Amino acid sequence: MPELDTARMATLRTLGEVVDLLGQTRTSSPSAPRDALSPGAARPAPDAVGAPGRFTVRAVPTSAAGLETPALLGREPVVVTSTGTALATAVVERLRALGVAAVAVESIPPDPGAVIFLGGLRDVRTIEDAVKVNRVAFAAARTVAGHFASKGGAFVTVQDTGGDFGLAGAGGVQAWLGGLSALAKTAAEEWPLASVRAIDLERGGRNDGALADSLVAELLHGGIEKEVGLTKDGTRVALASVPASPPSAGRRIEPGTVFVVSGGARGVTAAALIELARASRPRFLLLGRTSLEGRTGRVPRCIRRCRSQAGRLRRRHGFGRHAAEDLRDG
């Protein structure tokens, strides 16, 4: 089925308009005939697959679809976390005025209908403050994980990283709040029955009432987009991957450059390291948490993988070595 622009779909009013849109989509995105993959049909040659592309993430202005966040309405309770200010109360008042059974909470129950996590709008002064917000959000997600995975619901994280997820360069301490949107994307994969969204709401000196108005409007009219930015001037953006040309500068990785790699013994990381070894002849230090010191008998499989990968890297004109280290030790 072709992909459709949800914002455009929301503007359609008649069945005829929907049929016309579907016809245009089919014309612009032709698909293979139904019997193209039948037993007697010719298969494309393996080398007919296009080369992998290079993409970058951009914030693209977009209109709201006019639809509420799925699973937000009709579920109770909709819990809104505190920010240490009156913002949670302002959000709850506006939601309740629109018929949403919202309540402000200090701690999240294990079986809510929906969660609106406002922790990313706290006034963080240090990196430690921002990291604490991420930990609180992770704890909230763990609290509701079982319920949302089996019953569904809505989980919305709200942060202030400039209204565009930091793409314009808004840095400093606020950048450390970016873990909230990453948490939301991970939760969306693990809770297929739930509606999970990440909203970047730029405070920009606005008061709690103005912030609440902007957020509630997005919750009730923004639709299903997983990542949406709302800037202080009213611009609404969504994230999109767009084609990008590689840098024009020459090769920057010189032979002998050292790469310290965690988790490079298998999978896509292992394949990428082999190609990098072939192209640039660097040196690799593969890290694993299991040590051989004091061990007798059979070598653990993870160690065998690291040793095997180190050998492959050496054969590909690089230099590979395995060391037992735990990244959690800092």
Tell me: the pLDDT tens digits for 116-169? 999 999 999 999 999 999 999 999 999 999 999 999 999 999 999 999 999 988
Closest CA relative to residue 208, chosen from 78, 104, 83, 72: 83
CA distance 88 to 192: 27
Cβ atoms within 10 A of the Cβ of 303, count?
Answer: 18
Give per-residue pLDDT as tens, 174-183: 999 999 999 9
User: What's the pLDDT at 85?
Assistant: 84
Kindly report whether the global pTM for this prediction surpasses the value 0.85.
no
Cα–Cα separations (whole angstroms), residue 176 to 88, 132, 135, 218, 226:
22, 10, 12, 24, 20
CA distance 312 to 316: 6
Cα–Cα separations (whole angstroms), residue 43 to 36, 38, 246:
8, 10, 32
- The token pair at 318 is 């690089």
* Helix (H/G/I), strand (E/B), else coil: 159: strand
Cβ atoms within 10 A of the Cβ of 275, count?
Answer: 10
Low-confidence spans in the chain with pLDDT less than 70: 1-52, 249-251, 263-266, 288-330
CA dihedral (136, 143, 160, 210) in degrees, to 10, reads -120
Measure the CA angle with vertex 59, ends 57 and 61; round to 5°: 145
User: What's the pLDDT at 29?
Assistant: 46
